Amino acid sequence: MDNIKELKKIANELRLNVVDMVHRAGDGHPGPALSIADIVAVLYFKMMNINPEIPNWEERDRFILSKGHACPIVYAALARKGYFSKEKLPELRSLGSILQGHPDMLKTPGIDMTSGSLGNGIAIGSGIAAAAKVNTLDYNVYVITGDGELQEGVIWESAMSAVHFKLNNLIVFIDHNGFQSGGSIKDINKSVYPVTDKWESFGWHVQTIDGHNIEQIINSISKAKADKIRPSVIIAKTVKGKGLPFMENDNSWHKRVPTEKELKIAEDILGVGTA
């Protein structure tokens, strides 16, 4: 799929799915899901080598959502891609549902790794990327982590080892929206900054992009793949709640349920249906 306009439309469809799912569930994290919608759309509908008919295909690209609470956006992408029926989406967080509040690889087709305990995605991704090298398999491992997660020590341990083992098949996106659950990162722990300098000092291939610009996302992945020695980190500057003005940069939407009225507003703004 080469149409930028179509990918933007898909991203907004996924955003609306998220708002609808969280509204129906009466619980969830819409803000951090919407900030990564454009990245998820590009990965699932343009860049990742995957096959919904063979979810556990050995040579598939892998995806890990380290910030697991944002999983509704991934569930929406998996359903649209055909891993399971879209009729499952309203079952988010329901007892016995395949769509739990955090990703579970034992319950949901297309989920490559269970996540939710923050900070572990890059370490796990490094292990999966190393396994590809050992088994001479040609796949890439993509990870999305939040910028608040950068306060976790295991992030930097895995950053060191990924460079040491030359895991050039590991591509990490940092959802750099400036917030975490408790507030703005600069108020909670500004030592996370400067993000770019830190990753460069660890020896990674570093890019900084607009995380809502489809062309930049595509190009950054292509550049990451072109580096045959180093793991890559793409620092995506994003807006929490992107796509809905009443959510954007309002951290109360980290975990909050849209009302019926807000769902209707979202439908009008995003211009697509939930079906």
Tell me, yes or no, whether 259 lies in a domain.
Answer: yes
Tell me, yes or no, whether 139 lies in a domain.
Answer: yes
List the structure tokens of 165: 């083992």
| % the chain with pLDDT above 70 | 98
Q: What distance in Å separates the CA atoms of residue 84 and residue 17, rounded to the nearest whole number?
A: 15
Provide the pLDDT for residue 271: 80
pTM (2 d.p.): 0.97
- CATH label of the domain that carries residue 126: 3.40.50.970
For residue 186, pLDDT over 80 is answered with: yes
Beta strands in the chain (DSSP E): 62-65, 141-146, 170-176, 179-180, 183-184, 205-210, 232-237
Identify the CA nearest to 145 among candidates 47, 235, 34. Answer: 235
Provide the pLDDT for residue 274: 42
Provide the pLDDT for residue 272: 62
pLDDT single digits (tens) 214-244: 999 999 999 999 999 999 999 999 999 999 9
Tell me, yes or no, whether 79 lies in a domain.
Answer: yes
Q: What distance in Å separates the CA atoms of residue 230 and residue 110, rounded to the nearest whole number?
A: 27
Q: What distance in Å separates the CA atoms of residue 171 and residue 224, rounded to the nearest whole number?
A: 7
* Residue 207 β-bridge partners: 234
Tell me, yes or no, whether 162 lies in a domain.
Answer: yes
- Other Cβ atoms less than 10 A from the Cβ of 44: the count is 24
Tell me, yes or no, whether 193 lies in a domain.
Answer: yes
The boundaries of the domain holding residue 114 are 4-270
Q: What distance in Å separates the CA atoms of residue 170 and residue 130, rounded to the nearest whole number?
A: 9
Tell me, yes or no, whether 114 lies in a domain.
Answer: yes
pLDDT single digits (tens) 23-50: 999 999 999 999 999 999 999 999 999 9
For residue 2, pLDDT over 70 is answered with: no
Identify the CA nearest to 109 among candidates 73, 55, 61. Answer: 55
| Mean pLDDT of all residues in 51-79 | 98
Provide the pLDDT for residue 108: 98
Tell me, yes or no, whether 213 lies in a domain.
Answer: yes
**Total number of domains constituting the chain:** 1
Q: What is the mean pLDDT of the chain?
A: 96
For residue 146, pLDDT over 60 is answered with: yes
* Residue 63 β-bridge partners: 142
List the structure tokens of 207: 């890019």
Tell me, yes or no, whether 275 lies in a domain.
Answer: no
Q: What distance in Å separates the CA atoms of residue 68 and residue 229, rounded to the nearest whole number?
A: 29
| % the chain with pLDDT above 90 | 97
Contact 208, 237 (CB under 8 A): yes
* Residue 210 β-bridge partners: 237
Q: What distance in Å separates the CA atoms of residue 77 and residue 65, rounded to the nearest whole number?
A: 13
The CA-atom distances, in angstroms, between 80 and each of 7, 11, 15, 40, 95 are 13, 11, 12, 12, 23
Q: What distance in Å separates the CA atoms of residue 131 and residue 140, rounded to the nearest whole number?
A: 11
